Amino acid sequence: MAERADVVFVDGVRTPFGRAGEKGMYWNTRADDLIVKAMIGLLERNPSLPKDRVDDVAIAATTQQGDQGLTLGRTAAILAGLPLSVPGYAIDRMCAGAMTSVTTTAGAIAFGAYDVAIAGGVEHMGRHPMGFGADPNPRFLAEKLVSADALNMGLTAERLHDRFPQLTKERADRFGMRSQQKVAAAYAAGKIQPDLVPVSIRSEQGWGLATSDEGLRPETTMEGLAGLKTPFRPHGRVTAGNASPLTDGATVSLLASADAAKELGLSTKMRLVSFAYAGVAPEVMGIGPIPSTEKALKKAGLTIDDIGLFELNEAFAVQVLSLLDHFGIDDDDPRVNPWGGAIALGHPLASSGVRLMIQLARQFEERPDVRYGLTAMCVGLGQGGSVIWENPHYIGKKA
């Protein structure tokens, strides 16, 4: 049997993220059109890839119905102009959908079954609110398999504040404010725009073009955050200012074996080192990335000190802070989300995992002194996902 193939992240792009709902820029845009637009952009950026060399297309969505249903990977592949010989499938691991698309296809590449794969995710939370139309088994609550809080993500975040009193609302607010500021600085420096695929949008005013993320609030202040409502419980600590907004958007990536990338003249932006998923009590799902990161580090033979850049999904500020505290990392550590995160950019559930990878890949280009980076996220119903990547531009630590 052949040895495991090295898996590389060739490229990744995404649509701008829009606010969910009637006032959002994608209200009149289909979910499948968002992922198709992203896929077309990815293929156009990699013209040396023969389309018939794509072995599979894995596209995630959390709510797989309507324009997010019908085996998204296959329908999106056809709509994006891939040959009918290219198969595809859909994936659901809630918030870690796109991350699971990547790791699942990467496993097939490492095994030798695939040479090239496309992996991503889409979520139109305006059209398909989280959990809409789902019918959770009554045994979950009747037999106390999970707490009633477990099915409400905001309440799971409040539970983290309860469990870890040192994770104060003030710390969460400050982290949220800093996320907005870092995203604004990254936009001003032109860091984020190169990986955005413009999307035509239609509104009452006519046709337009989405070219940037819609939910940015760079003017955020601690005073403003302190006065926000706590929707999940009276006198709570989770607010719209320290949590990710409801968002629409799509992300997609191109993965290949190192040999196939070389053969086809494709770039290598990152090399996959290890990945892991873990389960935790659903009512404190936010701590999920802690055990998944520990598992991924162990499999890689690394420690947390080896990680030079962190891209952590900011579903809730308290969730990121719980991981930082666990590993002894400061709230303002410059290695963590240097260009901000989901509190400012948004978190279109099943698409967010690849956004983390897109940003890490760009940061690797700028940081040849960093060898390893981590993308990690919490997942609904009590899970965590972590992927460790190696920087192909690494030339050694700064003196």
**Torsional sign, CA 75, 79, 80, 81:** positive
Q: Which of 124, 235, 378, 393 is catalytic?
A: 378
Query: Phi then psi for 307, rounded to 5 degrees?
Result: -85, 120
DSSP code for 286:
G
SS3 of residue 88 by DSSP: strand
Q: Where are the beta strands (DSSP E) in 218-269?
A: 247-257
Q: Which of 95, 124, 128, 161 is catalytic?
A: 95
352 touches 93 (CB < 8 A): no
Active site residue 95: yes
Is 128 one of the annotated active-site residues of the chain? no
Dist. CA 296–CA 279, nearest whole Å: 14
326 included as an active-site residue = no
Please tell me which residue in 161, 235, 347, 393 is annotated as part of the active site: 347
Residue 395 DSSP SS3: coil
Alpha-helix runs per DSSP H in the chain: 31-45, 72-79, 97-111, 139-142, 153-163, 169-188, 222-226, 258-264, 289-300, 317-326, 342-345, 352-366
Distance CA 59, CA 93 (A): 11
Report, as residue numbers or ranges, the catalytic residues.
95, 347, 378
